Amino acid sequence: MLPATHLVGFVSLIGAPSDPRLTSVGRDGLWTSGCKRGFNAALIALSCALLGGPALAQVAVGSTTTSGIERREIRAQIKPVRLTQISTEVPGTLNTLKTEGSRVRRGDVLIALDCSTFEAQLKKTEVEILSAEQQEGVQRRLFELNSSGKLEWEQARLATERLKAEAGILQSQLRKCTVAAPHAGVITESRSRTGQYAQVGQVLLELVDDSAFEAEFLAPSAWVRRLKPGAAVSLHIDELQAAQPAQLARVADKVDPVSQSIKVTVRISRPIGGLKSGMSGSVDTHSLQP
């Protein structure tokens, strides 16, 4: 192994690097900065080899496969394909509310409101409709007997139609007092409790379809020509310490000019046991090679 002073002389003979950050000698007299950052590949390799430091001879900047896919860690985030936030279209007190962690099927009742007020209003309107229909019949008969004008008959008829329209609105509101699951899945979040008052549009539940997931990650834009929809991709899920097969679903149409990256989405059609939304992992870049 050559002394550090001999190495310095050797470097001066073949030319020092132009970057001043690469020409500083460490406290031990070794050109460690040059070994780490590099200004000439042959010079660095020879210098580090002469020093006999195998750790210094390794430049950890990542390697590239023959296909051009760099071996770097790409992080991925697991997301559900279908996530639905459940709210109500009418206000009311919560009589029934599915709890967090509940598994439901499509059509199961998730939310039921106390709609006794709507029910009472509907009964009142139905009684008024019966009275209006009787009044309409009387006005029609009087018109036939030439004892009343057509205007009175027409007004009675319109009053009946107005009450029927109000009854239809109340019936629609009553139907909205229960909210059914739009698809099968599991309740991942419950933001209220039974007995509390729910406002119109207030999100009460989150329903996730856990039969299929997606994963998103940012890939270098240089990979764009090799990212083909349908290609097999392998993910390593950190929380499960297991591999998850996936298929490349879509590639974004826009490249981020700052990071020189592009968003990639892969589809997980057959989730492994225990896979949940929000988990993360890394992409096996070998699986992206053509």
User: Hey, which residues does 232 pair with through a beta bridge?
Assistant: 247
pLDDT for position 18: 43
pLDDT for residue 288 is more than 90:
no
| pLDDT, tens digit (0-9, with 9 covering 90-100), for 95-130 | 999 999 999 999 999 999 999 999 999 999 999 999
Q: What percent of the chain has pLDDT over 90?
A: 59
Given a contact cutoff of 8 angstroms between Cβ atoms, the answer to whether 188 and 98 are in contact is: no
pTM over 0.75, yes/no: no
pLDDT of residue 144: 87
CA distance 205 to 202: 9
Straight-line distance from the first to the last Cα atom of the chain, in angstroms, rounded to the nearest whole number:
44
Mean pLDDT of the chain: 79
Q: What burial class does residue 28 get, using C-beta atoms within 10 Å of its C-beta: 0-12 exposed, 13-18 middle, 19+ buried? A: exposed
pLDDT bucket at 52, cuts 50 / 70 / 90: very low
Q: Considering only residues 235 and 147, tell me which one the structure prediction assigns the higher pLDDT.
A: 235
CA distance 116 to 246: 50
Instruction: Write the DSSP symbol of residue 69.
Output: -
64 Cβ neighbours under 8 A, 6+ residues apart = 70, 71
